[in-house]
């Protein structure tokens, strides 16, 4: 679990977290205010979610950082280690993978729906949700994962149209 703290000498905030067993501290140019702390808390929440999902890119969060250069040199090895770690979590978890949960949920709910709605839900699960979340353990999916997925959907063009998906469609 990371933290947000302020330096005593200049009252500027910095982010303190662990990545691959290494303590990382990244200085910001933000003064210690309530608003700036909230901004950094959101950043830290996203950062921890991407680390947990195994998709963390240090340079994306902190471009130009010395730590980014250090971790990019070992990124291939780290990526393999995270994949093995993720497999270990999946094999020891009592919680199902998203694709398994989606199948169970669909089977339980489909009796309540009309045929046309059932077909639409099946298509959404198979074409959109399972390719994105399918191999994730349900209890490992965070709010940050869902919000980034929704942001990704907002850039998709609607089928047969030149416009993007509507907010109603994305929220469905």
**Rounded distance between C-alpha atoms, residue 105 and residue 166, angstroms:** 25
Q: How confident is the model at residue 2, as a pLDDT?
A: 85
**Residue partners of 122: CB distance under 8 A and separation at least 6:** 106
Helices (H) and strands (E) in the chain, counts: 9, 3
* pTM of the shown model: 0.43
- The DSSP bridge pattern shows strands 3-6 and 12-19 to be antiparallel
Output phi, psi for 137, to 5 deg.
-75, 135
**Rounded distance between C-alpha atoms, residue 80 and residue 58, angstroms:** 16
**Rounded distance between C-alpha atoms, residue 132 and residue 126, angstroms:** 10
Residue 53 CB coordination number (10 Å): 17
Q: What is the mean pLDDT of residues 7-28?
A: 88
**Residue partners of 172: CB distance under 8 A and separation at least 6:** 124
Q: How confident is the model at residue 6, as a pLDDT?
A: 92
Q: How confident is the model over 58-74, as pLDDT tens digits?
A: 877 887 788 877 776 55
pLDDT winner (highest mean) among 48-57, 66-75, 104-113, 147-156: 104-113
Q: How confident is the model over 91-137, as pLDDT tens digits?
A: 445 677 888 888 888 888 888 889 898 888 888 888 888 888 888 88
Q: What is the mean pLDDT of residues 73-88?
A: 50
Identify the CA nearest to 44 among candidates 82, 2, 8: 2
Q: How confident is the model at residue 10, as a pLDDT?
A: 93
**Rounded distance between C-alpha atoms, residue 8 and residue 22, angstroms:** 23
């Amino acid at each position: 679990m990371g933290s947000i703290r302020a330096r005593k000498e200049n009252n500027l905030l910095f982010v303190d977290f662990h990545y691959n067993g290494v303590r990382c501290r990244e200085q910001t140019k933000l003064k210690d205010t309530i608003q700036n702390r909230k901004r950094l808390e959101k950043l830290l929440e996203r950062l921890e979610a991407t680390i947990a999902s195994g998709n963390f890119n240090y340079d994306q969060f902190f471009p130009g950082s010395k730590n980014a250069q250090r971790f990019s040199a070992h990124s291939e090895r780290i990526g393999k280690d995270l994949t093995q770690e993720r497999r270990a979590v999946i094999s020891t978890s009592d919680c199902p993978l998203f694709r398994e949960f989606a199948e169970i949920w669909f089977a339980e709910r489909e009796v309540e729906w009309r045929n046309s709605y059932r077909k639409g839900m099946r298509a959404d699960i198979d074409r959109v949700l399972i390719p994105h979340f399918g191999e994730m353990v349900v209890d490992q999916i965070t709010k940050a994962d869902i919000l980034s997925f929704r942001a990704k959907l907002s850039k998709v063009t609607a089928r047969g149209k030149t416009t993007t998906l509507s907010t109603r469609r994305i929220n469905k």
